[in-house]
Amino acid sequence: MTPTELLEFVLKPVQPFPRGDLRAFLKASIAVEGDVPSDFDRLARRAVMAKGRLEAGAAGHQAAIRRLFPTTPEDAVTAFCVSEDQGPKPSAISASLVRDGDGWTLNGTKRWGSMSPLADILYIAASIGEHDGRNHLRMVRIPKAASGVIIDTSPYGRYVDHMPIADIRLTDVRVSDEDVLSADAYVSFIKPFRLIEDVYSVAALQIALFCLGRRCGWPEAILEDTLGLIMQAHAISQTTMAKPGDVLLMSAYFRASIGLWARLEECWSLTPEDDREAFAPQTGLLGVAARAREARRQTAWRDLTSA
């Protein structure tokens, strides 16, 4: 979408998708004219239908994955699976990808696989071995239904109204050459993912809140500021989201988004109780990865100063 098209789209009233079936929400048909939609187009087309924070967050999460993996099938729900027992650090990833005849064999266990219970496709970070003291990683694309894949949701039963989570056990999973992405997994996918997901998830939430606010008669100033942040997120999505200037623009966007969230307190009294609960206003936003965002902001300024 162009900025004008995005404005027109967000300002057009849309009927929210009924709550209760997150997979159906993510697979619901989205009206597209002309070219194949960009990842941000998909985000916006889902977010206007979001009836709660869960749906909005899932829309942003899926759009972030599609930005990194643009060949993902149009209607697929996806999961980005990196973390293991010691977290997502490259040195802690022990899931192994080993050459086996004309393909590969994948073994290991992933923790905290957000969206994996509902996914059609899993993107898995795996090690192809160490070299010069460094763990070399590749992203692997596999169907969740592949032989040797077990999804275990039992450790996450307490996470209610959260994107579905599971551990993933991988036992002798066969992988073809075309499903092993040749790029360095950390540099090309793992490192940028969190920052991209933060932007996209917050943007999706802001789109959903703007639609909610219009339905509920929120103050016009708050709606206008929300709309301005949505357009800022759209501009960010047109950058590489990696260069120092991009990082600084994202930092400004996050700071303004946190400020706007703090102003929404007056709006909740105008909002029906079921909608207040669906958007969980007490939980705030952007608490995850704040330290990583701050480190990247400082690095961006250092890089600009030394250039």
Under a CB-based contact definition with an 8 Å cutoff, are residues 54 and 161 in contact? yes
How confident is the model at residue 293, as a pLDDT?
Answer: 82
Under a CB-based contact definition with an 8 Å cutoff, are residues 260 and 236 in contact? no
Q: How far apart are CA 137 and CA 96, in angstroms?
A: 9
The model's confidence at residue 141, banded by pLDDT at 50, 70 and 90, is: very high
Residue 302 confidence (pLDDT) above 80: yes
How confident is the model at residue 178, as a pLDDT?
Answer: 96
How confident is the model at residue 40, as a pLDDT?
Answer: 94
Under a CB-based contact definition with an 8 Å cutoff, are residues 60 and 204 in contact? yes
CA neighbor of 79 nearest in space, from 166, 201, 188: 166
| Cβ atoms within 10 Å, residue 3 | 11
What's the DSSP call for residue 18?
P
How confident is the model at residue 193, as a pLDDT?
Answer: 93
pTM higher than the cut 0.75: yes
Least confident of 1-10, 109-118, 211-220: 1-10
**Bridge partners, 5 (sequence order):** none
Under a CB-based contact definition with an 8 Å cutoff, are residues 152 and 164 in contact? no
Q: How far apart are CA 307 and CA 303, in angstroms?
A: 6
Least confident of 13-22, 55-64, 200-209: 13-22
Average pLDDT over residues 225-252: 95
How confident is the model at residue 131, as a pLDDT?
Answer: 87
Give the β-pairing of 134-143 and 180-181: antiparallel
Residue spans per domain, the chain: 3-68+188-306, 78-184
Q: Mean pLDDT across the chain, nearest whole number?
A: 92
CATH of 78-184, one of 3.50.30.30, 3.20.19.10, 3.40.190.290, 2.40.110.10: 2.40.110.10
